Amino acid sequence: MREKLGKSHRRKRKTGQGRKHRIIVAAALVPAVTALIAAAVFLIYVSVYYRADAAAEEALRTDEVLVEKTDYGWYFDGPSEDTALIFYPGGKVEETAYAPLLHRLAAAGMDVCLAKMPFRLAVLDTDAAKDIIEQYSYEKWYIGGHSLGGVMAADFAAGHGGLFEGVILLAAYPVKEIPSQLSELLLVGSLDQVINMDKVAEGRQYAPENYEEDVIEGGNHAQFGSYGRQKGDGIPSITPQQQRHETIDRIMDFVNKSSNQTEVLN
């Protein structure tokens, strides 16, 4: 009788230990499962993005502007020998969607280095400009971008003011103080329904003294790039070509004025 009770007691102890072990294993698996779910949600989120259209693909061809695919993204090499722009694309937008704008900007006299961002999110590689600058010997660098890309470009400029002449923001805004020695240009479409204008207003407090803000009448958010309609955006009353043309004119006017002011100060 004692032997039977002893065996039963031992069986109960083993069963209790097994239950405790399963609880410990389950508890240890919770963080791993949570991480896997988070990763799956993130991958689903970034798999839906705005793709470059046919006009963008056409603008990746070399003509008077040499267009090269690089380790960091794309390089648009026009007639400029001393001035270049590093451009961060908008969030969840294929970087080549900005080829029509940047190709024409390079032809107008400002070479461009277009950064390809991880998962099309500039927030994941804010420091991309650092490696780009090291590959070239331009005397004057500008940094800018569209939407989230512009916000991240301004963020990088805020901490590396000595590298740049100025910041060029398309439907974007700074969230940190831009160094006083820099210039800043902000362009917004009058029919842009995507950008948070309250954030734009807040961003003015971080602007340097040499600050310009301009509105492209009839323009919207998406037409700074070439990726079709964007959810929630306003209906433009000008063509994409017109918006790009006005954008380039304003950028080149800003760059020329900035260069002249720098020469006067020197």
| φ/ψ (deg, to 5) at 201 | -65, -40
Please give the model's pTM, rounded to 2 decimal places.
0.84
Q: Indicate if 4 and 110 belong to the same structural domain.
A: no
Co-location of 29 and 119 in the same domain: no
The per-residue DSSP string of 124-144 comes to G-TTHHHHHHTT---SEEEEE
Q: Are residues 9 and 91 in the same domain?
A: no
Q: Where are the beta strands (DSSP E) in the chain?
A: 66-69, 73-77, 83-88, 111-115, 140-146, 166-170, 183-189, 210-216
**Residue 179 and residue 233 in one domain:** yes
3-state secondary structure of 32: helix
Rg of the chain taking only CA atoms, in angstroms = 26
Tell whether 97 and 189 lie within a shared domain: yes
Which residue in this structure is represented by tokens 């390079």?
106
Cβ distance 150 to 164 under 8 Å? no
- Residues 207, 220: one domain? yes
Burial tier of 22 (Cβ tally within 10 Å: 0-12, 13-18, 19+): exposed
Taking the C-alpha atoms of residue 107 and residue 172, their distance in angstroms, rounded to an integer, is 24
- Are 30 and 67 within one domain? no
184: three-class secondary structure by DSSP? strand
Q: Are residues 86 and 143 in the same domain?
A: yes
Do 68 and 116 reside in the same domain of the chain? yes
CATH code of the domain covering residue 170: 3.40.50.1820
Domain that includes residue 86, residue range: 51-265
Q: What pLDDT score does 1 carry? A: 46
- Residue pair 143/157 in contact (Cβ under 8 Å)? The answer is yes
Same-domain pairing of 207 and 132: yes
User: Per-residue confidence of the chain (266 residues) as pLDDT tens digits?
Assistant: 444 445 544 454 555 666 766 666 556 666 766 776 766 655 665 567 999 999 999 999 999 999 999 999 999 999 999 999 999 999 999 999 999 999 999 999 999 999 999 999 999 999 999 999 999 999 999 999 999 999 999 999 999 999 999 999 999 999 999 999 999 999 999 999 999 999 999 999 999 999 999 999 999 999 999 999 999 999 999 999 999 999 999 999 999 998 776 555 55
Helix then strand then coil, % of the chain, to nearest 5: 50, 20, 35
Give strand pairing partners of 141: 84
Cα–Cα distance measured from residue 177 to residue 167, given in angstroms and rounded to the nearest whole number: 12
For residue 102, what are the contacts with CB-CB under 8 A and spacing of at least 6?
59, 74, 76, 85, 87, 112, 114
Q: Residue 260 has what pLDDT? A: 72
Residues 159 and 204 in one domain: yes
Provide the domain count of the chain. Answer: 2
Q: What residues form DSSP beta bridges with 84?
A: 111, 141
- Looking at the fold, whether 106 and 69 belong to one and the same domain comes out as yes
